[in-house]
């Protein structure tokens, strides 16, 4: 049996007719850049995130970048985030002219360690971007408390956490902005590139709307220098179809995670922890092994395909060498980067596939020299 890391075809098959109809409607209406399908999706996605406003943009990277710009963040400013994210989190900061500053993570949840946060704040700090990695919200209350005390903005990188909750509140609704990616492999994935910013702040929402459309509120009236960061009409239509199924798909992911947890319980493998404050939506189901690379290869030999998120932390990437961090700067993130292995995870993963993966992991000689 082959177990792919991700199988987008399985899901497409289950919604094919609806998707084709929605796409045909966009073509009949010829609204290819933004338009009614995007507007309808925004109207549906905002309440899903517990927010008043959702603004569709071209990608998750743009959602982060425009959010920072809308808050006036730029050259001379510092923004604190974690080193164990997809590089886009840091890139968005860099593209405003500001400097990314990293803080280490919690050893069990792999999200920002709030206890280390205070030490990283300087007079130049303007914002904090916690990343809800793998679909589990960061521990937001202490982060929000520190931000309030120091007068800093909190932008949630919720690119992996559509539908996740922190103490019953939806991911994305806790800071000034929640930034989502609809990259095809995400829990809510488009059939191309797309993203969104959600917020409860009307003035901030207005700024994002202007920034994504060349700084204009009305046609030919450019109030500020913006960008072309609109959501594609086809993507809005597809996301509108898929959003209805997202709660059910997230539930299926949670069940897959529980099956893995059960089957791996008495092995030497460290399974993911769902924090007491969190509803985890398992964008990624990551285990830890000190023999990670050998285990990954052994599984691939059996046609079980895993991923690594992420093998090199951002502060050790060549692109960020200029920040002057080194090996040892963030010991927890660095250790996790060497040990974490992302197992196959998608809503349509079958119990038999999960059993196959778990059996292969247990057969691997974890303690061999
Ligand atoms: C996917 C992702 C992004 C970037 O989103 P794109 O839509 O690919 O631009 C940003 N942050 C995190 C944590 C992500 O997983």
Candidate of 91, 111, 159 to mutate for ligand 1, largest count of ligand atoms within 8 Å of Cβ: 159
Over residues 309-319, the mean pLDDT reads: 98
**Contacts by 257-264 with C-beta closer than 8 Å and gap 24+?**
257/282, 257/285, 257/345, 259/351, 259/354, 259/355, 259/358, 260/285, 260/287, 260/343, 260/354, 260/357, 260/358, 263/354, 263/355, 263/358, 263/359, 264/358, 264/361, 264/362
pLDDT-derived band at 366 (thresholds 50, 70, 90) equals: confident
Over residues 201-222, the mean pLDDT reads: 96
User: With the C-alpha atoms ordered 194, 197, 202, 207, is the resulting torsion angle positive or negative?
Assistant: negative
pLDDT computed for residue 267 by the predictor? 87
100-120 confidence digits (pLDDT tens): 999 999 999 999 999 999 999
CA of 246 to the centre of ligand 1 (A): 18
Using the atom order of ligand 1, give the atom closest to the CA of residue 132: 13
pLDDT-derived band at 210 (thresholds 50, 70, 90) equals: very high
CA of 59 to the centre of ligand 1 (A): 8
37-96 confidence digits (pLDDT tens): 999 999 999 999 999 999 999 999 999 999 999 999 999 999 999 999 999 999 999 999
Structure tokens at 275: 């924090």
Q: For residue 369, is pLDDT > 70? A: no
Over residues 245-259, the mean pLDDT reads: 98
CA of 135 to the centre of ligand 1 (A): 12
Q: What is the DSSP letter of 231?
A: P
Candidate of 63, 64, 89 to mutate for ligand 1, largest count of ligand atoms within 8 Å of Cβ: 89
What is the percent of the chain with per-residue pLDDT over 70, rounded to a whole number? 99
DSSP H helical ranges for 197-317 = 202-211, 233-243, 246-263, 292-301
Ligand 1 pocket member 131 (CB < 6 A)? yes
Q: What is the DSSP letter of 5?
A: S
pLDDT-derived band at 268 (thresholds 50, 70, 90) equals: confident
116-142 confidence digits (pLDDT tens): 999 999 999 999 999 999 999 999 999
Over residues 344-367, the mean pLDDT reads: 94
pLDDT-derived band at 266 (thresholds 50, 70, 90) equals: confident
Using the atom order of ligand 1, give the atom closest to the CA of residue 64: 10
CA of 368 to the centre of ligand 1 (A): 37
pLDDT computed for residue 368 by the predictor? 65
pLDDT computed for residue 365 by the predictor? 80
pLDDT computed for residue 234 by the predictor? 98
Q: For residue 367, is pLDDT > 70? A: no
- Mean pLDDT in the chain? 97
Q: Which residues contact 354 (CB under 8 A, 6 or more apart)?
A: 256, 259, 260, 263
What gap in Å lies between CA 14 and CA 30, rounded to an integer?
Answer: 26
pLDDT computed for residue 325 by the predictor? 97
Whether pTM > 0.85 for this model: the answer is yes
CA of 267 to the centre of ligand 1 (A): 32
Ligand 1 pocket member 88 (CB < 6 A)? yes
Ligand 1 pocket member 86 (CB < 6 A)? yes
Q: For residue 356, is pLDDT > 90? A: yes
Structure tokens at 107: 């050893």
Ligand 1 pocket member 188 (CB < 6 A)? no
- H/E segment holding residue 78: strand 78-81
pLDDT-derived band at 264 (thresholds 50, 70, 90) equals: very high
User: With the C-alpha atoms ordered 240, 243, 244, 245, is the resulting torsion angle positive or negative?
Assistant: positive
């Amino acid at each position: 049996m082959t177990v792919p890391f991700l199988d987008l075809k399985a899901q497409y098959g289950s919604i094919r007719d609806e998707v084709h109809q929605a796409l045909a409607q966009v073509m009949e209406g010829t609204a290819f850049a933004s338009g009614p399908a995007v507007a309808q999706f925004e109207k549906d996605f905002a309440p899903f995130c517990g927010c008043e406003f959702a603004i569709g943009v071209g990608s998750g990277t743009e959602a982060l970048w425009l959010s920072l710009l809308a808050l006036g963040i730029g050259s001379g400013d510092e923004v604190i985030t974690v080193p164990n994210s997809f590089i886009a989190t840091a890139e968005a900061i860099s593209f405003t002219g500001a400097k990314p500053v990293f803080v280490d993570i919690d050893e069990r949840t792999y999200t920002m360690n709030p206890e280390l946060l205070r030490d990283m704040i300087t007079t130049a700090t303007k914002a904090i971007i916690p990343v809800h990695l793998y679909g589990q919200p960061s521990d937001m209350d202490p982060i929000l408390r520190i931000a309030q005390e120091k007068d800093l903005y909190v932008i949630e990188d919720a690119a992996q956490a559509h539908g996740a909750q922190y103490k019953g509140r939806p991911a994305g609704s806790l800071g000034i902005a929640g930034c989502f990616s609809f990259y095809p492999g995400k829990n809510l994935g488009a059939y191309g590139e797309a993203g969104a910013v959600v917020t409860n702040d009307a003035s901030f929402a207005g700024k994002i709307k202007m920034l994504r459309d060349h700084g204009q509120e009305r046609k030919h009236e450019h109030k500020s220098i913006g960008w072309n960061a609109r959501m594609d009409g086809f993507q809005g239509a597809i996301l509108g179809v898929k959003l209805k199924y997202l709660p059910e798909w997230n539930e299926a992911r949670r069940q897959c995670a529980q099956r893995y947890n059960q089957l791996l319980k008495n092995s030497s493998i460290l399974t993911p922890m769902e924090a007491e404050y969190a509803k985890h939506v398992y964008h990624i189901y990551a285990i830890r092994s000190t023999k990670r690379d050998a285990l990954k290869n052994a599984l691939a030999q059996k046609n079980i395909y895993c991923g690594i998120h992420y093998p090199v932390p951002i502060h050790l990437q060549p692109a960020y060498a200029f920040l002057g961090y080194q090996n040892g700067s963030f010991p927890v993130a660095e250790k996790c980067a060497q040990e974490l292995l992302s197992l196959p995870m998608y809503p349509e993963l079958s119990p038999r596939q999960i059993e196959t993966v778990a059996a292969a992991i247990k057969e691997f000689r974890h303690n061999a020299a």
